[in-house]
Amino acid sequence: MARKIYKLPDIGEGIAEGEIVKWLVKEGDYVKQFQPLVEVLTAKAKVEIPSPYDGRIVKILAREGDVVPVGAPLLEIEVSGEAVEAAVEKPGEPIEKTIETVKEDKVSSSIRVRAPPGVRLLARRLGVDLTKVRGSGPNGIITKADVEAYIESMKARESRVVSEEPREALEERVKIRGIRRFMFKNMAMAKQSIPHAYLIEEVDVTELWRLREKVKEYGLDKGVKITILPFIIKAVIHALKEYPLLNASVDEEKEEIIVKKYYNIGIAVDAGDALVVPNIKDADKKSILELAREIRELAEKARKGELSLEDVSNGTFTITNIGAIGSIAGMAVINPPEVAILGVHRTFERPVLEGDKLVNRKFMYISISFDHRILEGAYVTRFLVKVKDLLENPYNLLVE
Amino acid sequence: MEKYDVLVVGGGPAGYPAAIRAAQNGAKVAIIERDKFGGECTNYGCIPTKALLKGAKVAEELNRYPFVKGGVSIDFKELMRWVGRVSSRSSRGVEYLLKGYGVEIYRGEARFKDVKTVKVGDKELHGDKVILALGSRPIDIPGFPVDGERIHNNRTILGIDEKPGSIAIIGAGYIGVEYATVFSSLGSEVFLIELLERVLPLMDKDFSRLMDKILRRRGVKIYTGVKAEKPEIGGDGVSIRLSNGDVINVDIVLVAVGRRPNSEGLDGLGVRLDEKGFVIVDDMMMTNVDGVYAAGDLAGQPMLAHKAFLEGVIAGENASGGEIYKVSKFIPSVVYTEPELVSVGYTLEAALDNGIKAEEKLYPIGGVAKAYIEGMTEGFVKMVVDGEGSIYGIHIAAPNASELAGEATYLLETRSTVEDVALTVHPHPTISEALKEAAEYIIGRPYHYLLK
């Protein structure tokens, strides 16, 4: 049995390397000639590399995910059959032998190129591979003019390619990994499987901000910066209690809606390079102060990447407070397996006619994206109006 | 400390062309030589041995023709004096050229402080670039201590002033065969002892066969596959026991078993050597140390002067701001015997080993008129070719074949075909016609040779 190193073959036109996507065989496997060995992704396509021999895979020499150049060793194979055996004398040696043969083939082919020494020196200086140059002299002898013409044609070709090349040079490929990969999969799944529907409501938050101003000092005394978000959470929970189908998830297999009697309110947090949604457990049982404190803690943990699985599991409804950064309105994507998400947008000021006087009031838009498979517009609108009413009259939150 | 752009260590066939080329490029150049300029070739190798061969052949040639009356004899002392003059004239010529190109000359042993700083006597020299051209020296064999009296190497043999009545030559490589030719021409009794199975063991087998036949006819006693055991040196000669049981008694012994590079200590300076002690260089003749070059015997096989010239010029050019690469692939070897031998490119075995579907075609020299005039019709032109007429190797045994080595090498460097050779006019009558005739023969249409 002769052992051979099989290298990534020249797959075709200009392909210099490929990424090992998937091995279709493993060490110890017996393979037939032309049986696919490995999937390789090149710049142009994904291809399957077939086995050149019948034999047994001794060792796989390139890992999945590796990007390897043409000619790089892929695997060591113990070849069955006599033709190859005869070419290789002893086991143990063939690795070197194979390499040597390739090297010498190159030499002999370079010997066959017909060019006088002066032309060879010119080509060597210019880095031109003479096997690629067409000779115009008698019997195809390559002249200096042929080498120069070749250089010119390469330059012309390069300048044609230039317009395309810099674009790639100005790009950076970032691997989709970790938390971003989770977002990558989850958001695609949400949008593909959940028919989203959307509503937007305008909320006069003048009183809400006034209230928030009034309690701000109190909060700071307790060591917490109170924002409007805890009030929004309170308002949402009150509304959810009235419209419980929004605090739910879907069991698609059994075609059932699971209505939750607990309120774990997720808050979308900007964790630098990706979105994470930790949730406040039993938010309905917590005070504004406690909510504010917990929001701060969760956001902090998210930014440090210290969130536990528990922190991000079992949410029942999500609020994305994108307005804290900007955005006048927008439509969020539902965080599966939940059925709706509330978007809170930027507060802005607008004069309003009050009697016959123009007064300055604060407004913001709230938007809701909901799973239209199980929720219908009227129901969700009522929910949204409830939220709006509570936010416009925040003192009612004390009463509810 | 004296500072130079280029410091060349060694004034032999690699060093002096390197120094001259660097100086031609405007560099400030110094060269260090511990012995004589021109190195081994000019003083102990190519030049004096060819002079010696010429002297030996002159008498032999004259005696070969039936119309020369009266015996022609050689005054050995005068011959050796003339040989010395040829060498020293050649060596002085090298020195003259170096000085003429403004190269500063230092004489003495070079002692390296570091790879770019060298002490010569009490002077310290520094080169921005350094070219190592340290050459090689003969290999000694155990039991044969070279004393310059009874046991000689290629250096001391040139010091003898008396023709030896008998000589044992250990090693039947090109040096051994050349000296066997010299001393058999001069009328000495010659014993040629080779450890391997044939004379010229590293060359084409047809050369070995021809040389074996011709040397035996000259009276040379050839022992192949035989080892020379420890000699006994007595007052009037040397007694050598051979591994086949024979004992030979000779006046002197010449040890010619090969050469090794003078690379001792270079690895300590950071210069990388291969397992045989040669300095490893790239195709610009640069070593692994930036700005340090090596050329000639020090930089690898074959250890031949014309290869040293090539590499010296490349090193000199690159060390002085130029850019030149070793693109020449074919180094011819020449053996100055009767007839002379030339070999360049692949032998048939080497071609087949390299996966070329080659065959060899041998054209006997007898068909060439000039060969007969030269009094030597034994010989051949052999080409290793493929089915398309591409030439991979040329091997010539012919009178003055050395003068064809350049053409043969050029044919290979230009990758000419047998058709190209056949279509090129070669003057008549010359030995060079043999190349053209051989090409015609390979094509199948020779007109000076009857195809049976």
Tally of CA atoms within 13 A in the half-sphere of B274 that contains its CB: 13
Phi, psi (degrees; rounded to nearest 5) at A48: -100, 130
- Whether residues A243 and A389 share a domain: the answer is yes
The model's pLDDT over A93-115, given as tens digits with 9 standing for 90+, comes to: 333 323 233 333 333 344 468 88
> How high is the mean pLDDT of chain B?
94
Out of A102-116, B84-98, B413-427, which region has the weakest mean confidence (pLDDT)? A102-116
User: CA–CA separation, A68 vs A23, rounded Å?
Assistant: 14
**Last residue in a domain, options A107, A122, A143:** A107
Taking a C-beta distance cutoff of 8 angstroms, is the pair B387, B400 a contact? no
User: CA–CA separation, A125 vs B354, rounded Å?
Assistant: 27
pLDDT of residue A334: 94
> How high is the mean pLDDT of chain A?
82
SS3 category, A112: helix
Question: What's the pLDDT band for A163 if we cut at 50, 70, 90?
Answer: low
**Residue type for A374, please?**
I
List of chain B residues whose C-beta atoms are within 8 Å of the C-beta of residue A105 = 355
Tally of CA atoms within 13 A in the half-sphere of A31 that contains its CB: 27
SS3 category, B141: coil
Residue B428 annotated in active site:
yes
pLDDT of residue A31: 87
pLDDT of residue A100: 30
User: CA–CA separation, B170 vs B188, rounded Å?
Assistant: 16
**Which H or E run contains A160?**
helix A144-162
* B111 pLDDT higher than 80: yes
What are the structural domain ranges in chain B?
2-138+260-319, 151-257, 339-443
- Whether residues A291 and A253 share a domain: the answer is yes
- Whether residues A264 and A138 share a domain: the answer is no
- Whether residues A236 and A385 share a domain: the answer is yes
pLDDT over 70 percentage in chain B:
100
* Contact yes or no for A139 and B283 at CB 8 A: no
User: CA–CA separation, B145 vs B255, rounded Å?
Assistant: 9
| B residues 335-374 lying closer than 8 A (beta carbon) to A | 354-356
CATH number of the domain that residue A6 is part of: 2.40.50.100
Question: What's the pLDDT band for A63 if we cut at 50, 70, 90?
Answer: confident
List of chain B residues whose C-beta atoms are within 8 Å of the C-beta of residue A106 = none
Give me the residue from B325, B416, B419 closest to A125, CB to CB: B325
Distance (Å) from the alpha carbon of A175 to chain B's nearest alpha carbon: 39
SS3 category, A169: helix
Q: Which two tokens stand for residue A306?
A: 């210290």
* Contact yes or no for B329 and A111 at CB 8 A: yes
CATH of B2-138+260-319, one of 3.40.50.2000, 1.10.1660.10, 1.10.357.10, 3.50.50.60: 3.50.50.60
**Does ipTM top 0.90?**
no
Taking a C-beta distance cutoff of 8 angstroms, is the pair B29, B102 a contact? yes
Out of A233-237, B59-63, B93-97, B320-324, which region has the weakest mean confidence (pLDDT)? B59-63
* Contact yes or no for A112 and B354 at CB 8 A: no
Termini Cα distance of chain A: 84
The model's pLDDT over B283-319, given as tens digits with 9 standing for 90+, comes to: 999 999 999 999 999 999 999 999 999 999 999 999 9
* Contact yes or no for A115 and B324 at CB 8 A: no
The mean pLDDT of A7-22, rounded to a whole number, is 72
User: Token match 């490119």: residue?
Assistant: B345
Distance (Å) from the alpha carbon of B60 to chain A's nearest alpha carbon: 40
Alpha-helix runs per DSSP H in A51-143? 82-87, 94-112, 117-126
User: CA–CA separation, B97 vs A164, rounded Å?
Assistant: 57
* A82 pLDDT higher than 70: no
Q: Which two tokens stand for residue A130?
A: 């003479």
B16 interfacial to chain A (CB closer than 8 Å):
no
List of chain A residues whose C-beta atoms are within 8 Å of the C-beta of residue B328 = 117
Taking a C-beta distance cutoff of 8 angstroms, is the pair B317, B21 a contact? yes
**Which H or E run contains B294?**
strand B292-294
Distance (Å) from the alpha carbon of A9 to chain B's nearest alpha carbon: 21
B414 interfacial to chain A (CB closer than 8 Å):
yes
Taking a C-beta distance cutoff of 8 angstroms, is the pair B222, B214 a contact? no
pLDDT of residue A81: 59
Q: Which residues of A are catalytic?
A: 372
Question: What's the pLDDT band for B329 if we cut at 50, 70, 90?
Answer: confident
The model's pLDDT over A279-335, given as tens digits with 9 standing for 90+, comes to: 999 999 999 999 999 999 998 888 887 777 788 888 999 999 888 888 889 999 999
Question: What's the pLDDT band for A160 if we cut at 50, 70, 90?
Answer: low
Which homologous superfamily is B339-443 in?
Answer: FAD/NAD-linked reductase, C-terminal dimerisation domain (3.30.390.30)
Out of A269-278, A340-349, B321-330, B411-420, which region has the weakest mean confidence (pLDDT)? A269-278
- Whether residues A394 and A277 share a domain: the answer is yes
Give the range of the structural domain holding residue A75, as residue numbers without chain letter: 2-107
The mean pLDDT of A129-142, rounded to a whole number, is 84
Q: Which of B305, B271, B436 is CA-nearest to residue B369?
A: B436
CATH number of the domain that residue A130 is part of: 4.10.320.10
The model's pLDDT over A235-263, given as tens digits with 9 standing for 90+, comes to: 999 999 999 999 999 888 888 899 999 99
**Which H or E run contains A280?**
strand A279-280
* Contact yes or no for B414 and A108 at CB 8 A: no
Interface of A with B (CB under 8 A): 101, 104-105, 107-108, 111-117, 120-121, 124-125, 138-139, 141
* B144 pLDDT higher than 60: yes
pLDDT of residue A14: 54
| Number of domains comprising chain A | 3
pLDDT of residue A385: 95
User: CA–CA separation, B218 vs B221, rounded Å?
Assistant: 9
pLDDT of residue A162: 56
* A1 pLDDT higher than 80: no
- Whether residues A321 and A387 share a domain: the answer is yes
User: Tell me, what DSSP letter sits at residue B116?
Assistant: T
pLDDT of residue A56: 87
pLDDT over 70 percentage in chain A:
85
Tally of CA atoms within 13 A in the half-sphere of B331 that contains its CB: 15
pLDDT of residue A106: 37
* Contact yes or no for A116 and B392 at CB 8 A: no
**Last residue in a domain, options A128, A143, A169:** A169
The mean pLDDT of B361-385, rounded to a whole number, is 91
Give me the residue from B327, B392, B419 closest to A117, CB to CB: B327
What is the DSSP track for B153-200? -TTGGGG--S--SEEEEE--SHHHHHHHHHHHHHT-EEEEEESSSSSS
- Whether residues A97 and A128 share a domain: the answer is no
> Mutation test of the interface with chain A: which of B314, B328, B331, B414, choosing the one with the most A Cβ atoms within 10 A?
B414
Distance (Å) from the alpha carbon of A111 to chain B's nearest alpha carbon: 7
Q: Report the chain A residue with the minimal C-alpha distance to residue B346.
A: A108
pLDDT of residue B136: 96
List of chain B residues whose C-beta atoms are within 8 Å of the C-beta of residue A107 = 354
pLDDT of residue A88: 33
User: CA–CA separation, B7 vs B32, rounded Å?
Assistant: 8
Ramachandran assignment for B52, one of left (phi > 0), alpha (psi -120 to 50 degrees), beta (any other):
alpha
Distance (Å) from the alpha carbon of A115 to chain B's nearest alpha carbon: 5
Catalytic residue from among B152, B306, B426, B428: B428
> Mutation test of the interface with chain B: which of A104, A106, A111, choosing the one with the most B Cβ atoms within 10 A?
A111
The mean pLDDT of A39-54, rounded to a whole number, is 74
Ramachandran assignment for B286, one of left (phi > 0), alpha (psi -120 to 50 degrees), beta (any other):
beta
Q: Report the chain B residue with the minimal C-alpha distance to residue A115.
A: B414
pLDDT of residue A43: 56
- Whether residues A135 and A204 share a domain: the answer is no
pLDDT of residue B396: 98
What are the contacts of A238-241 at 24+ separation with CB within 8 A?
A238/A386, A238/A390, A238/A397, A238/A400, A239/A383, A239/A384, A239/A386, A239/A387, A239/A390, A240/A317, A240/A383, A241/A284
pLDDT of residue A312: 82
The mean pLDDT of B401-430, rounded to a whole number, is 93
User: Mean pLDDT: which of A68-77, A153-162, A361-370 is highest?
Assistant: A361-370
* Contact yes or no for A124 and B329 at CB 8 A: no
The mean pLDDT of B374-399, rounded to a whole number, is 93
Number of H helices, E strands in chain A: 12, 19
List of chain A residues whose C-beta atoms are within 8 Å of the C-beta of residue B420 = 138-139
**Which residues lie below 8 Å from residue B122, measured CB to CB, with a gap of 6+?**
none
- Whether residues A8 and A150 share a domain: the answer is no
Question: What's the pLDDT band for A178 if we cut at 50, 70, 90?
Answer: low
Q: Which two tokens stand for residue B150?
A: 């009874």
**Which residues lie below 8 Å from residue A313, measured CB to CB, with a gap of 6+?**
none
User: Tell me, what DSSP letter sits at residue B390?
Assistant: B
User: Token match 């309690």: residue?
Assistant: A215
The model's pLDDT over B151-205, given as tens digits with 9 standing for 90+, comes to: 999 999 999 989 999 999 999 999 999 999 999 999 999 999 999 999 999 999 9
Q: Which two tokens stand for residue B354?
A: 């390299």
Tell me if B2-138+260-319 shares its fold with B151-257: yes
Give me the residue from B327, B355, B417 closest to A108, CB to CB: B355
List of chain B residues whose C-beta atoms are within 8 Å of the C-beta of residue A133 = none
**What's the CATH code, domain B151-257?**
3.50.50.60
Question: What's the pLDDT band for A8 if we cut at 50, 70, 90?
Answer: confident
User: Mean pLDDT: which of A111-115, A158-162, B50-54 is highest?
Assistant: B50-54
* Contact yes or no for A117 and B413 at CB 8 A: yes
Size of chain A in residues? 400
